[in-house]
Structure 1
């Protein structure tokens, strides 16, 4: 949805301490930790199998609004999303349909939310001849076949992406993901969770790999979506080696984000192209596009959404390593990370397991897992061996939570047991 604009200008310019304090304001006591799940899916015309146009998407959004009482989000004269309570429906650049779920207490609530959303989308979509597909990469159509959504920030990104990598347009128009957003209690808790989840992100990529086709043929990858991020824009993606430095904390993430090139500034309901400039420049009033103007915390919040590492820090943490998938996997992904990160014992086990992994080993996993998945060699075994241990830790963590949530991980049991993510998907 379009960002909000702060009506009143700040009386004092923002300092770096303000930006650090913004991230730190996400700290919450454990009883207030929540689970926020987001997933994207491809819409297609049932008759032609072609990607759906903006007109078809607009009809779906209007139908959902009328029938299920969602409020419309507009940009200029276009409906570009929906809002209901703390849930949002939004459009990715190529019309991928995204649900950003509310912050919920249990995985049962998360799965109920996913099911309710898919029921609504299916009910409206069927009448319009539209179906939806959960995969990590558009399996059939070329980049030139994908319609472009009428959203200002995507126009800026579309022009910028080819300047900084070869696969950025594929990322924008032909990929889908599922991610979970999780809380932390303190800076130290954030550091532990960041290191554990960043090290394990390739393991999640392997377990949830689901993008082996491109333009109707096998593409040589198990997760082409994951591979695409390795050449999208390396200034704003990747495995963030500095997270494992002894000095890491909120301030180091702020330093990183200050130097990530900006995409835009949002003023007067318009996206102003600021590509190539840094937020550091903005803090000094040196953006040529808005001369002398200084940023607000809203600008900082918007900028943080344009950074795409495998784990992203806002006032919560986003797990970004998994391909989109069918509905049961949309519940399994948050179950996996909640079991690992919301249980002290499992989290400590992960930190112990990964603490001697080198930067080179983490980068190797990030690079090779998209190709060979669970069969990727690691030390004296394979990623599948790691995945078995990690999946058991996730189950143990869920057991100790006491909400009877372990069943949500059954969906990936067979994947890890056989070491074959996609064959399991085809035959279950």
Structure 2
């Protein structure tokens, strides 16, 4: 989730529709300037009892943030409490129940991405060892009820917690009990954005399947392989879903702006305080018609804040966000950006990936999205299963990464980071299925064994 930093400089007001579109247009970059941003969340737990620590206290999330400042991170406060950190490796931020996230810096290569992840995990382990805290890499808390989880002191989360139950039955689970890996990528032009958006949205269920790691709820199998993915189907229909309009003729920056104008607001920030505007219309805000801010029109900063409050599985800001994967261990943190960079950052690979999905109907894509949380790689696609398609997609991504020819000091290109995904496809078993096998086998029905095997 985005972390907002207040600035003393007044944000410029939105004066025309061009100001809305400018956010997307400034994302257009030459290929030489394309970068890779990787975000990954993990669950923090106390090693002695597996409880989720609160923000406060000697072993709390606040202490963990404070401990990380020894590595050069700078605190970002809200109402006198540190709620995030900023540094050379991006930002460290908190999800609503203390899920710990690195939003990495924009980097040129996957080698740099993995080095960044290694540095971050080494830092949190060092501080975590001192505080008796561990870090779990799965897509959903395997054993916690909502009531057992703390709430972090971020005002926007209070607004969301109040609003979520009004629009869906699983929104609080999304906030409190899930974790993800995410990749953010650039585009050259509006047309390039459209190609990448369509390919990545059509194939996002493949990422969900390959990274599926949320088969437990409150200590028992929940009947899903990615329950995190299922949660999004009943979170908030106004800001989630497969977005059929992305595949319509004429899709581009204008259409995305119209979509976002119709996504209900959560908040606006004035004087450092979050105003609860949940459910209100940004279109009315543009006209100065909000009762809470009479006569006031939004700033560009209000618009960029609002762009972070829709939750489809691919999202446009001044870059594209790939949002379909469950959380996972270090190797899969590197594998997710490898998949999408391989597919989207090489023209030949992008064209080949589009050839795989261009004839899918909207019903085909909707059916795949509906099946994948339970079936993962066994979900059906036109002409076969996702498992069969996965082999083709990974070969395309591998070729795309080889063509990029970004080498490390040992002379290796980036294709090796796909190895964990090739292993999943070769075995036919997702991470969730391997955990279920362990649960019914060597774990003897004890889901707490996940802490021994899936921690960083």
Q: TM-score range by the shorter chain?
A: over 0.9
- RMSD of aligned alpha carbons: 1.3
Unaligned runs of 5+ in 1: none
Whether the 8 Å CA contact 2:89–2:116 is kept in 1: the answer is no
Please name the residue that 1:299 is paired with. 302
- Asked if structure 1 preserves the Cα contact closer than 8 Å seen for 2:11 and 2:300, the reply is no
Given candidates 428, 431, 439, the residue that maps to 1:419 is 428
Q: How many residue pairs are counted as aligned between the two chains?
A: 426
Q: Is residue 63 of structure 1 aligned with residue 64 of structure 2?
A: no
Does structure 1 residue 80 correspond to structure 2 residue 83?
A: yes
Describe the SS at the equivalent of 2:368. helix
Q: Is the 8 A contact 1:5 1:267 kept in 2?
A: no
Q: Is 1:371 matched with 2:390?
A: no
**1:355 and 2:358 are equivalent in the alignment:** yes
Gaps of 5+ in 2: 407-412, 439-452
Indicate whether 1:395 and 2:404 are aligned.
no
List per-residue Cα deviations over 1:283-332 (Å, max 9, x = no partner): 00011111111111100000000111110000000000000000100000
Q: Is the 8 A contact 1:4 1:298 kept in 2?
A: no
Listed one character per residue, the Cα deviations across residues 332-360 of structure 1 (whole Å, up to 9, x for unaligned) are: 00000000000101100111111111111
Q: Provide the C-alpha distance between the structure 2 equivalents of 1:301 and 1:193, rounded to a whole number of angstroms.
A: 21
Aligned to 2:441: none
1:261 is aligned to: 264
Match for residue 231 of structure 1?
A: 234
- Tell me which of 131, 134, 138 is aligned to 2:137: 134
Deviation at 1:69, TM superposition (A): 1.4
What's the offset of the Cα at 1:5? 4.7
Secondary structure in 2 matching 1:261: coil
Alignment of 1:283-322 (within 5 A): 283-322=286-325
Equivalent residue number for residue 54 of structure 2: 53
Contact 2:14/2:20, CA 8 A, preserved across alignment: no
Q: Residues of 1 paired with 2:18 and 2:423: CA distance?
A: 47
Match 1:208 to one of 197, 211, 219: 211
State the Cα distance separating 1:13 from its structure 2 match: 4.5
TM-aligned CA distance change 1:9 to 1:412, over 3 Å: closer
* 2:132 equivalent to 1:123: no
> 1:172 aligned to 2:175?
yes
Provide the residue aligned with 1:36 in structure 2.
37
Matches of 1:391 and 1:138, distance apart in 2: 29
Query: In the TM superposition, what whole-angstrom CA distance separates every residue of 1:197-256 from its partner, at most 9, and x where no partner exists?
Result: 000000111111111111111110000001100110010011111000001000000000
User: In structure 1, what is the Cα distance between the partners aligned to 2:426 and 2:242?
Assistant: 27
- Structure 1: how far apart are the matches of 2:53 and 2:396? 41
Retained in 1: the 8 A contact 2:39–2:182? Answer: yes
8 A Cα contact 1:384 1:416, kept in partner = yes
Query: Which residue of the partner structure matches residue 110 of structure 2?
Result: 107
- Once the two structures are superposed, residues 350-402 of structure 1 have per-residue CA deviations (whole angstroms, 9 ceiling, x without a partner) of 11111111111111111110100001122331110111110110101001010
> 1-side partners of 2:11 and 2:402: how far apart?
49
Tell me if the contact between 2:201 and 2:314 (Cα under 8 Å) persists in the aligned partners.
Answer: yes
- State the secondary structure of the residue aligned to 2:152: coil
Give the whole-Å Cα distance in 1 for the aligned partners of 2:313 and 2:158.
24
1:118-148 Cα offsets, whole Å, 9 max, x none, are 0000000011000000110100110110001
Alignment of 1:320-359 (within 5 A): 320-359=323-362
Instruction: Report the secondary structure of 1:238's partner residue.
Output: coil
What residue in structure 1 maps to residue 448 of structure 2? none
2-structure distance, mates of 1:360, 1:381: 15
